[in-house]
Structure 1
Amino acid sequence: MKAVAATEYGGPEVLRPYSAPKPTPEPDEVLIRVRASTVGPANSAMREGRPFPVRFFSGLRRPTSIPGDAFAGEIASIGRDVTRFTVGDRVFGTTAPNSGAHAEYVCVPEDGTLELTPAGVSDAEAAAVADNGLTAILFVQNVADLQPGQSILVNGASGGIGTFAVQLAAHVGAAVTGVCSTKNVDLVRSLGADAVVDYTATDVAETGETYDVIFDAVGKGSFAQFNRMLNPNGQYITTVPSVGILFDMARTRLVGDRRAVFAATGMKSTGVRKQYLRELQELLDSGEIRSVIGRRYPVAEIIEAHRYVDTGHKRGTAVVTID
């Protein structure tokens, strides 16, 4: 089967398409013919092996597994004990905290983070939800516990996670402000943002506005930068781990009423991820949320997909198709 491998840690050039053995499902697993997956900053971090703790999942000296975790496609075969799905069902989900989705086929437990794809939703759109949508809802609802009437600033509102965070925060009933560049202002406003700050023209820290939650969806800011923009008992939440955020987390637990928070959403329990993927499925089916696909790459162009993500200016989700 077609798959992606990396022979060492490094830049996009370490990746290569190759032919891997087709997996066989265990009695409680389904075999999925993957049609679409995604590439994002987390995939770049795994490729680079930085920060070092990611190597405990991918290999200490070099990558040992097929990358990628979000997927969408159809069920090709099922194990003998599977009752929830049948061959031919269109599904989407994630293998997290494991990987293997950048391949033609992947095996997933029947009771894993896996749902039926709503009718009318493409595999690319579903894969984006399984990746960035799931990350966004875990941060907005599970970590921040955002409530109706609260205010939230989404930094990186036009990116993969940010586009979903804006929609989910608006759905909750929060007052949403998005931060993005000029070319993405209309997009972010169309997703439900009440206000949009163009960072190329305005320093968001100088607007004088304050928020209950500041969600740094691209991890380019810091607690020190956004601290004075937080309301009392406010939270600065980031998707990117660093020594700085870990120090701020420890310090703000002891001092003051504003909190710095990082959460490894990929390490949430399967039960939690399943709960939120099911909610996303319902929101996708009802049209309450939509995927923003920035670019699509065939798996043969996996290097170009990673180079695009590494620019740090990705619009929506970067999708990899596997035909």
Structure 2
Amino acid sequence: MKAVIYEKYGPPEVLTLREIEKPVPKDNEVLVKIHAASLNYGNLVLLKGEPFVARFAFGLFKPKYPIPGGDIAGRIEAVGNKITQFQPGDDVFGDLSVFGWGGFAEYIAVPEHAVARMPGNLTYEEAAAIPMAGATALQGLRDKGKIHSGQKVLINGASGGVGTFAVQIAKSFGAEVTGVCSTRNVDILRSLGADHIIDYKKEDFTKKDKTYDLILGVNGSHPLSAYKRLLKPNGIFVHVGGSESQMFQAMSLGPLISKTGSKKMGTMLQRANHKDLLYLKELIEAGKVKPVIDRSYKLNEIPDAFRYFGEGHAQGKVVITM
């Protein structure tokens, strides 16, 4: 089978397409023929080995996982002897980030709880765009942000992979959603149901007087003090993406701010979760959430896909087709 391999950290040029042996599923595994995959911020961390602290999980001097790629969608080709949930021919999607990665390949053998049945109303490309970004938005809003109906929610970075899911998921909870994006993305947010849109090219949302119950920081480099000013009493700020300086502020200063007042501030790292895949599947099949895809690349165009994604201007998700 074909797979994208890398043996050292670096720019997209270190990624090479090679022929390797097709995996054989163990008794508790399913063999998935991958039809599509997608890029997330975690893929950039794996590629570059930055920030350096990530190397303690992904390999200190060289990559621990030679085949990158987390989000996948495909069809089960074979199952192990102990598999009860699936059978050959089932269409599935999943996040492999806690199962050794390996999504940028034609086949993968993984435990059955790494995947779930695909939403019946999506293509493989659309399904591959969901797992990591969708779960990040869901966990940030629901688990860390404690979102509930009637709240005023601000999403900074609302037009990217996580942001487009966050707008729709927040609306599904009954929140009043304000999305921050650039001029070229205003129509996208409007189509996703955002109640209010702030074009950061024209105005600085941190200088406005409006306050929010919950802020999800998906992008940007604003200091925590700016977000704190925008929070209502008992409001919550959740950092899920943005500049490294903002991340370290959220990790170091967030707990202190949270202890000294009613406003809560912190960061969150998404974790693959089978129940969340099923929850997202229900939202999508109910028509409450839809994936937004910016561009698609073929497997042999992976370096180009990484270069484009690394620029940070994708409108929704970047997808890889096999």
Regarding TM over 0.5, the answer is yes
1:288 counterpart letter in structure 2: K
| SS of equivalent residue, structure 1 residue 265 | coil
Matched, 1:258 2:263: yes
Q: Take 1:290 and 1:243, find their aligned partners in 2: how far apart are those partners?
A: 32
| SS of equivalent residue, structure 2 residue 283 | helix
**Cα distance, 1:152–1:297 mapped onto 2, change above 3 Å:** same
Q: Deviations over 1:260-286 (max 9, x none)?
A: 2111112xxx6xx11211111111112
| SS of equivalent residue, structure 1 residue 86 | coil
Matched, 1:72 2:77: no
Q: Deviations over 1:293-317 (max 9, x none)?
A: 0010101111111111111111100
Matched, 1:213 2:180: no
1:59 counterpart letter in structure 2: G
Match of 2:285 in 1: 285
Q: Take 1:191 and 1:113, find their aligned partners in 2: how far apart are those partners?
A: 29
Deviation at 1:49, TM superposition (A): 0.7
Measured on the aligned residues, the alpha-carbon RMSD in Å equals 1.4
Match of 2:252 in 1: 247
Deviation at 1:198, TM superposition (A): 0.5
CA contact (8 A) 1:113 1:277 kept: no
2:215 counterpart letter in structure 1: I
Match of 1:129 in 2: 130
Matches within 5 A, 1:6-21: 6-21=6-21
Between 165-174 and 115-124, report the one with greater CA deviation: 115-124
Gaps of 5+ in 1: none
Match of 1:105 in 2: 107
**Cα distance, 1:256–1:311 mapped onto 2, change above 3 Å:** same
| SS of equivalent residue, structure 1 residue 278 | helix
Matches within 5 A, 1:148-159: 148-159=149-160
Deviation at 1:159, TM superposition (A): 0.3
Gaps of 5+ in 2: none
2:225 counterpart letter in structure 1: A
| SS of equivalent residue, structure 2 residue 129 | helix
Between 254-263 and 226-235, report the one with greater CA deviation: 254-263
Counting aligned pairs with the same residue, the percent is 39
CA contact (8 A) 1:219 1:239 kept: no
Q: Deviations over 1:32-88 (max 9, x none)?
A: 011111112221111111122322332211113211111000001100111111101
Q: Take 2:220 and 2:55, find their aligned partners in 1: how far apart are those partners?
A: 21
Between 248-257 and 40-49, report the one with greater CA deviation: 248-257
Q: Deviations over 1:162-184 (max 9, x none)?
A: 00000000010011000011111
> Between Structure 1 and Structure 2, how many residues are aligned?
316
Match of 2:316 in 1: 316
After TM superposition, the score normalised by the length of structure 2 is 0.94
CA contact (8 A) 1:219 1:238 kept: no
Matches within 5 A, 1:166-245: 166-240=167-241, 242-245=247-250
Q: Take 2:56 and 2:3, find their aligned partners in 1: how far apart are those partners?
A: 22
After TM superposition, the score normalised by the length of structure 1 is 0.94
Deviation at 1:219, TM superposition (A): 5.0
Runs ≥4 residues deviating over 2 A: 218-222, 240-243
Matched, 1:164 2:146: no
Q: Take 1:126 and 1:194, find their aligned partners in 2: how far apart are those partners?
A: 26
Q: Take 1:36 and 1:103, find their aligned partners in 2: how far apart are those partners?
A: 9
Q: Take 1:166 and 1:183, find their aligned partners in 2: how far apart are those partners?
A: 17
Deviation at 1:118, TM superposition (A): 2.4
Q: Take 1:160 and 1:250, find their aligned partners in 2: how far apart are those partners?
A: 27
